[in-house]
């Protein structure tokens, strides 16, 4: 988990990312997921080399990570925390609250070739590493 700077203020709090200083990589792309209907899941896949950080800018959701061996669930519900996900992690997002907003910063542009969408293929590749 990455703890972003927090500027507490009675008028409302503020956090930031500047010049990639708060992240373990250089950001090439950001995207966000919103308006997720109750019960839906997103992102059941792994990336071959891409790294990312996921932030719950609003609301809450769970990020479930699997390294080919162990599964861990992280609940994100604070806009000042980010979950770093290294390459070759099977991950999905679930349990979205109403009006939740998932913000994702990645170290690469979108590239369909980066995705492993078959869990068995992922597991085989993960075991090789
Ligand atoms: P995808 O990453 O497959 O979402 P999920 O894993 O949650 O199902 O993306 C869904 C679609 O959006 C897919 O057709 C590719 C497109 N897309 C982009 O064009 N650019 C992006 O940065 C991302 C993340 C997705």
Each residue of 8-17: pLDDT tens digit?
A: 999 999 999 9
pLDDT tens profile 21-32: 999 999 999 999
pLDDT tens profile 68-118: 999 999 999 999 999 999 999 999 999 999 999 999 999 999 999 999 999
Atom of ligand 1 at shortest range from CA of 45? 6
pTM over 0.85: yes
What residue's CA is closest to ligand 1, atom 10?
Answer: 43
- CA distance linking residue 128 with residue 22, whole number of Å: 31
How far is the centre of ligand 1, averaged over its atoms, from the C-alpha of 57 (Å)? 19
User: Which strands form 29-33's sheet, in the order they lie side by side?
Assistant: 2-3, 81-85, 52-58, 101-106, 29-33
Spot the catalytic one: 45, 78, 87, 92.
Answer: 45
Question: Residue 56's pLDDT is what?
Answer: 98
Q: Is 92 a catalytic residue?
A: no
Is residue 96 packed enough to be buried (19+ CB in 10 Å), middle (13-18) or exposed (0-12)? buried
pLDDT tens profile 108-129: 999 999 999 999 999 999 988 7
- CA distance linking residue 91 with residue 75, whole number of Å: 13
How far is the centre of ligand 1, averaged over its atoms, from the C-alpha of 110 (Å)? 8
Atom of ligand 1 at shortest range from CA of 110? 22
Residues with CB under 6 A from ligand 1: 29, 31, 42-43, 45, 110
Q: Measured between alpha carbons, how far is residue 2 from residues 5, 43, 56, 119 in Å? A: 10, 21, 12, 27
Question: Residue 23's pLDDT is what?
Answer: 95
Residue written as tokens 């479930």?
64
pLDDT tens profile 50-68: 999 999 999 999 999 999 9
Q: Predicted confidence band at 20 (pLDDT cuts at 50, 70, 90)?
A: confident
């Amino acid at each position: 988990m990455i703890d972003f700077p927090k500027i507490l203020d009675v008028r409302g709090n503020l956090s930031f990312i500047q010049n990639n200083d708060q992240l373990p990589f250089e950001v090439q792309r950001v995207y966000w997921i919103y308006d997720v209907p109750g019960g839906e899941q997103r992102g059941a896949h792994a990336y071959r080399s891409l790294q990312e950080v996921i932030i719950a800018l609003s609301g809450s959701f769970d990020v479930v990570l699997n390294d080919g061996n162990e599964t861990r669930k992280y609940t994100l519900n604070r806009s000042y925390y980010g979950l770093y996900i290294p390459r070759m992690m099977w991950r999905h997002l679930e349990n979205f609250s109403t009006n939740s907003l998932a913000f994702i910063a990645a170290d690469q542009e979108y590239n369909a070739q980066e995705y492993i969408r078959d869990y068995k293929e992922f597991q085989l590749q993960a075991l090789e590493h």
